[in-house]
Copies of this chain bind each other. A is one copy, B any other.
């Protein structure tokens, strides 16, 4: 895993305390794909399966982490905030689970990078899969707003 992801894991655990209670952390990041894991035990619900709030938190945070890592690597410090999302809970999650997402292909992200370079702001949508044992259990589509910090200096 690239060192930037280890550093981001520490920031997430310190700055978003709920994620530490949920046990959410990036477990793979190769510059293209990001994986974030969560244990069932801390996230169980009344049915003994994963709490919907934990699933949507994991997926939203995974998309946020992927964009944060990509933008920080290319453009420096930025604020990333989700402003809309939609999720399908397809099957109950009965064990530890993972979110998987990939940064959009270069041609799809071209407008985003252009906006960010020109205005310091950009918007990007991400699809995040949630899997248990390699099978998809939920899918999130989320839209994020990005603002570069301190680029005028």
Contact = CB atoms under 8 A, between A and B. Distances in A.
A52 B59 CA distance: 11
A42 interface: yes
Nearest to A59: B53
25 contacts: A11-B46, A12-B46, A16-B45, A16-B46, A17-B42, A17-B44, A18-B18, A18-B53, A19-B53, A47-B79, A52-B57, A52-B60, A52-B81, A52-B85, A53-B57, A53-B58, A53-B60, A53-B61, A54-B57, A56-B85, A84-B86, A84-B88, A85-B86, A86-B86, A86-B87
State the copy count for this chain.
2
Interface residues of A, number: 37
A58 B64 CA distance: 19
